[in-house]
Amino acid sequence: MKSASLRYANAMADIALAQGAAEPAGKQLHDFGAAYAQSAELRTFLLSPAVSPEAKHTVIEKIVARLGASKIIRNFLFVLADHRRTQLIPEVIAAFHQVIRQRQGAAEAEVSSAVELSEAQKKEIAAMLVRLTGKKIETKYALDPALLGGAVVRIGDTIYDGSLRSRLKEMRTRLAAE
Domain stop point among 102, 134, 155: 102
The CA distance from 105 to 84, in Å, is: 32
Same domain flag for 165 and 93: no
What are 25-40's pLDDT values in tens digits? 999 999 999 999 999 9
pLDDT reported for residue 177? 86
Q: Are 28 and 69 a contacting pair, CB within 8 Å?
A: yes
Exposure string for 14-53, b = 16+ CB within 10 A, e = fewer: ebbeeeeebebbbebbebbbeebeeeeebbeebeeeeeee
Euclidean distance between CA atoms 160 and 169, whole angstroms: 15
pLDDT at site 138: 85
Local confidence pLDDT in tens for the 178 residues of the chain: 478 899 999 999 999 999 998 999 999 999 999 999 999 999 999 999 999 999 999 999 999 999 999 999 999 999 999 999 999 999 999 999 989 988 988 888 899 998 898 999 999 988 988 898 888 888 999 998 888 888 889 987 788 888 888 888 888 888 888 7
Range of the domain at 117: 106-177
Task: Decide which of 62, 81, 102 is a domain's last residue.
Answer: 102
Residues 37, 96: one domain?
yes
The DSSP element (H or E) to which 172 belongs, if any, is: helix 164-177
Domain check: are 116 and 73 in the same one?
A: no
The domain that holds 98 is classified in CATH as 1.10.520.20
User: Nearest Cα to 74, choosing from 86, 83, 85, 65?
Assistant: 65
